[in-house]
Amino acid sequence: MIFLRISQFLTWPIAFIYFHLLYSLRVNGRENLKKISRPFIIIVNHVSFSDSFLFRLILGFSTPHLPLRFMAVEKFDWRWLNFLSDIGFIPFIYGLFGVFIVVPGRGLQKNLEEAKRLISHKQNIVIYPEGKIMIEHRIAPFKHGAAVLAAETHTPVIPVSLCLGGKMLIRRALTVNIGEPIMVTSDAKTEATVKLFYDTIAGLHADAKNAPLTSGAAIPASSLVKN
């Protein structure tokens, strides 16, 4: 854990240069991360392979929340990513930055075992509920993993939306909206929780597209899921 905290901390200058060179970046709702203690689960829509590195900037230079542990797959929809995985580059990056693997078709509970273990050790988890990168820049239906994990571990969930906007020269608008923590009760119905997660992130995403908030503004979300 110490190694991962250091490796992620040291990526800040690289992430800062990369994202500010290629994007006009705005982060709203950072105070929602300040009001929560570990462990927690971040759920976020997936727009590019570099999304996980963006979280180093989202958390800020000095943060108590490192390391983040990212749930990911090692088989992709793109041949070039599968090639990088086959030659060991992606497994190397995964190991360097604390990514843990889930395998489609292995079963939900089996895939959640490592996430539950990490949460029991007070580590923070990042999940992309869509399960893939959405190059169309829309939000795909969510899988059940995050909802089940939150209910079974009684862990607060931070919803985050990433929204790509227009491009000016080489820089593209990128708005990050961070919602308030969501607590899921152990008796919550999974489908209802999945819908809440989806609707919350879709709402944050719509805020970014239609009426971006000023930096630091709080973005509300439902705080409890019941039957």
What percent of the chain clears pLDDT 90, i.e. is strictly above it? 71
Least confident of 108-122, 125-139, 213-227: 213-227
Confidence of residue 80 (pLDDT cuts 50, 70, 90): confident
pLDDT > 80? residue 216: no
pLDDT value at position 217?
40
Q: What is the dihedral of CA 220, 129, 109, 120, to 10 degrees?
A: -50
**Which residue's structure tokens are 């439902």?**
222
> What is the rounded distance in angstroms from the CA atom of residue 46 to the CA atom of residue 139?
8
List, in sequence order, every residue forming a beta bridge with 178; answer none if it has no partner: 160
> What is the rounded distance in angstroms from the CA atom of residue 35 to the CA atom of residue 169?
37
Query: Model-level pTM greater than 0.85?
Result: yes
Neighbour-count burial for 143-155, b at 16+ CB within 10 Å, e otherwise: bebbbbbbbebeb
> What is the rounded distance in angstroms from the CA atom of residue 185 to the CA atom of residue 162?
26
* Phi-psi domain of 107 (left: phi exceeds 0; alpha: psi -120 through 50; beta: other): left
Whole-number mean pLDDT of the chain? 89
Confidence of residue 227 (pLDDT cuts 50, 70, 90): very low
Nearest to 119 by CA among 150, 158, 95: 150
Confidence of residue 78 (pLDDT cuts 50, 70, 90): confident
Nearest to 18 by CA among 49, 50, 58, 43: 50
| Neighbour count for residue 134 (Cβ, 10 Å) | 16
pLDDT value at position 25?
94
